[in-house]
């Protein structure tokens, strides 16, 4: 088969590799029909995640068809259409029993395209397939379901739920990339009084309005702290969600929160970010950070199937899998070309 292989920082290739095989009875081999590229893949290529070894097939999001199952797989059969999300789950360890699948102790968690070969390939081996895939409802396009593999549950769980967004809250979202936009659109479900999007890209701020923000701040030329103070009677945001992953954006998110406010970090950080306790120690703030679990995926799938989440709006560019190099280039230049999610589809399907 062909796959997108990481060859060390800055190097990758779409090339011929060995087909994946079942190595554990809980495995399934999934034929990848649709996959996408995540900002985290760019972090891997930048060398920010040194645990990802050269030779690894990247990718942790897919919609596909079960091709083969191990003897221990009971709920899936060849031909079943499934979502392969970024988080795998053994289903039985302490953390999985708590719904904290991202912290799975038995070889689950974020492993695809990280510690084992991933989904940017024609086929992928999915461990613990019964508890690591979701059957797809009829009538929802694959590319919309694909948005449930990572960005929507990440924005919802690590941003909106961890940040405790409540009706009437003022929610500030720093970073209007796909995950920030997910947080914005999911925050809407809770009827906040204002959602403020902050980014340096005018294009992305335009998207933020489409996804449900009602106020935008371009922090390349405006001061978000002063503007949000003005908007909130000098208090600050009830919830500040960090969805950019840089020291400056994290420190900004902390400054945007009101006393007693909540700061939910979603960003993937490659460098230390300072929590200024000399300024913050007496402000009663709560800071959360974490990895998505996917425990909200069934809920989000229902919202998507009933038209309450506009997932299709994330897809801005479509490619065949043979065009992976191009797709990476477009995604890496997202701030310029307006790319949100680039979707890659299996060639046969693309030709239909």
Q: Residue 181 — φ and ψ, nearest 5°?
A: -65, -35
Q: Which stretch binds Zn ion (CB under 5 A): 99-107, 162-170, 263-271, 291-299?
A: 99-107
CB 306 to Zn ion: min, Å? 25
Site for Zn ion in 40-79 (CB under 5 A): 40
Question: Considering only residues 52, 62, 84, 104, which one is a binding residue for Zn ion as defined by CB under 5 A?
Answer: 104
CB 340 to Zn ion: min, Å? 13
Q: Residue 237 interacts with Zn ion (CB under 5 A)?
A: no
Question: Considering only residues 108, 113, 163, 245, which one is a binding residue for Zn ion as defined by CB under 5 A?
Answer: 108
Q: Which stretch binds Zn ion (CB under 5 A): 82-90, 164-172, 236-244, 337-345?
A: 82-90
Cα(132)–Cα(54) distance, integer angstroms: 25
Q: Residue 264 interacts with Zn ion (CB under 5 A)?
A: no
Q: Which stretch binds Zn ion (CB under 5 A): 85-93, 174-182, 253-261, 336-344?
A: 85-93
CB 110 to Zn ion: min, Å? 8
Cα(103)–Cα(291) distance, integer angstroms: 8
Angle between helix axes 178-187 and 202-211 (nearest 10 degrees) is 30
Q: Which stretch binds Zn ion (CB under 5 A): 49-57, 100-108, 275-283, 322-330?
A: 100-108
CB 38 to Zn ion: min, Å? 3
Instruction: Return the number of the residue (86 or 174) whose C-beta is nearest Zn ion.
Output: 86
Please list, in sequence order, all residues whose beta carbon lies within 8 angstroms of the beta carbon of residue 186, skipping any fewer than 6 positions away: 152, 155, 156, 159, 160, 309
Please list, in sequence order, all residues whose beta carbon lies within 8 angstroms of the beta carbon of residue 37, skipping any fewer than 6 positions away: 59, 120, 327, 328, 331, 341, 342, 344
Contact 208, 185 (CB under 8 A): no
Q: Residue 38 interacts with Zn ion (CB under 5 A)?
A: yes
Contact 261, 242 (CB under 8 A): no
Contact 182, 345 (CB under 8 A): no
Instruction: Return the number of the residue (128 or 227) whose C-beta is nearest Zn ion.
Output: 128
Q: Residue 292 interacts with Zn ion (CB under 5 A)?
A: no
Alpha-carbon torsion angle 94, 292, 312, 6, nearest 10:
-100
Site for Zn ion in 136-165 (CB under 5 A): 150
Nearest Cα residue to 304 out of 312, 314, 294? 312
Question: Considering only residues 66, 93, 165, 339, which one is a binding residue for Zn ion as defined by CB under 5 A?
Answer: 93
Q: Which stretch binds Zn ion (CB under 5 A): 20-28, 36-44, 47-55, 331-339?
A: 36-44
Q: Residue 90 interacts with Zn ion (CB under 5 A)?
A: yes
Instruction: Return the number of the residue (145 or 257) whose C-beta is nearest Zn ion.
Output: 145
Q: How many positions of this chain bind Zn ion (CB under 5 A)?
A: 9
Burial degree of 271 (CB within 10 A; 0-12, 13-18, 19+) = exposed
Cα(290)–Cα(309) distance, integer angstroms: 23
Residues near Zn ion (CB under 5 A) are 38, 40, 90, 93, 96, 104, 106, 108, 150
């Amino acid at each position: 088969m062909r796959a997108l292989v990481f060859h060390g920082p800055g190097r990758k290739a779409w090339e011929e590799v060995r087909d994946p095989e079942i190595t554990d009875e809980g495995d399934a081999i999934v034929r990848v029909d649709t996959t996408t590229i995540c900002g985290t893949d760019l972090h891997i290529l930048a060398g920010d995640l040194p645990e990802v070894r050269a030779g690894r097939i990247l990718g942790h999001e897919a919609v596909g068809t079960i091709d083969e199952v191990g003897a221990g797989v009971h709920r899936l059969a060849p031909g079943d259409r499934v979502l392969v999300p970024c988080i795998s789950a053994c289903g039985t360890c302490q953390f999985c029993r708590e719904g904290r699948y991202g912290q799975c102790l038995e070889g689950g968690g974020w492993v695809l395209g990280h510690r084992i070969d991933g989904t940017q390939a024609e086929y992928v081996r999915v461990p613990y397939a019964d508890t690591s895939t979701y059957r797809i409802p009829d009538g929802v396009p694959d590319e919309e379901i694909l948005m449930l593999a990572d960005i929507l549950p990440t924005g919802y769980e690590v941003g909106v739920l961890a940040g405790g967004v409540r009706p009437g809250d003022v929610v500030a979202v720093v970073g209007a990339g796909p995950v920030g936009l997910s947080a914005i659109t999911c925050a809407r479900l809770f009827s906040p009084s204002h959602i403020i999007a902050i980014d340096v890209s005018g294009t992305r701020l335009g998207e933020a309005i489409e996804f449900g923000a009602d106020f935008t701040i371009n922090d390349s030329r405006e001061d978000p702290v002063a503007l949000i103070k003005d908007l909130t009677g000098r208090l600050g945001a009830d919830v500040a969600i960090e969805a950019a992953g840089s020291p400056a954006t994290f420190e900004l998110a902390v400054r945007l929160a009101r006393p007693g406010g909540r700061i939910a970090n979603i960003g993937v950080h490659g460098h230390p970010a300072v929590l200024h306790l000399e300024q913050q120690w007496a402000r009663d703030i709560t800071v959360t950070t974490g990895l998505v679990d996917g425990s909200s995926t069934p809920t989000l799938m229902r919202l998507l199937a009933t038209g309450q989440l506009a997932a299709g709006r994330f897809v801005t560019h479509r490619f065949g899998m043979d065009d992976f190099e191009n797709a990476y280039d477009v995604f890496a230049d997202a701030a310029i070309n307006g790319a949100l999610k680039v979707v890659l589809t299996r060639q046969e399907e693309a030709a239909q």
